[in-house]
Amino acid sequence: MTITTRSIAQHESEWIYSTILTRQLKLSSLNDYIHQIPQVPLIVELYIFLCGYAFNPIMVPLWLGLVNVVTSTELSDAVAAKFSGTTINEQWGKLLLTIDSNKRGHMNMVFYLATVLVTLLFTELGKASFATTRPKIPTSGYATIMSADDKNNSIKWKRRFGSLVASLKSKHSFPSGDSSQAMNLCLFFFRYVPTTSSKVITLGSHAIPVRDIALFLMFLPGVVFARVFYLCHWIEDCIGGVSLSLLIHWLVIPIVRENLVDLARRFGLI
């Protein structure tokens, strides 16, 4: 008995899921394996849930506030904030220092909001273009709430927070919007949010804050796994979402940044 109503053959009938990447990495089988995990300990699922729910629309104000607070706290005239070593980071840091100290956090918050909206736009365009099918939730033997009653031992798979994580999801699957937003957050903190922490790891000429490494190695994989675990996505969707965000930060976000700077100058903020 399988947890999804789609076989590997059905999954791979959509061309985006029949590429050499899917075949060589055996992603269809891995999708089935993750979808069919019966359940995990509550403490583990709490972590998975927090990652999977992190980019629900109601969470956006939390991330905006975090960017505002961290920027305002870490970037001051008295403390030289450390960036990850690229020219863009140094330029952005110097730009923020030219702004009134009470408005630096707001500037970065607006910038982050712009990256969220741009990422959302491109992911929704991708979903509409590819129009791929999400994993189907089984009609029996599958519980999506913590309080599900199982007196008859009929529940084979349990996702205690499944109803919450799957709320407000759009119709189509590829690319994963949550994975795109997770990568966007990681890249934004890495490139544009300062830190004065001395806890860094040196890679070549770059001193990367432990904070950013934790985001890339713990938070981002957690989001990707959660989206598959809760039957919201296939692994290919998450790979596509992460790749899309990388592309956006390479090609689009620099343009957004420059337009934001021009707008700030027009209003006399810098």
Summarised one tens digit per residue, pLDDT across range 115-135 is: 999 999 999 999 999 988 888
Strand 206-209 and strand 200-203: pairing? antiparallel
**pLDDT-above-70 percentage for the chain:** 83
Q: Which of 129-133, 203-207, 239-243 has the lowest mean pLDDT?
A: 203-207
Question: pLDDT > 90: what percent of the chain?
Answer: 41
Q: Which of 29-33, 117-121, 183-187, 239-243 is least confident?
A: 29-33
CA angle, 222 as apex, 191 and 164 as ends, to 5°? 115
pLDDT for the residue 51: 96
Instruction: Count CB neighbours of 191 within 10 A.
Output: 17
Contacts of 43 (CB under 8 A, 6+ apart): none
Its sign, for the CA torsion 58, 63, 64, 69, is positive
* 235: nearest Cα among 172, 176, 190: 176
pLDDT digits (tens, 9 = 90+) for 73-131: 887 666 666 666 566 677 787 788 888 877 888 999 999 999 999 999 999 999 999 98
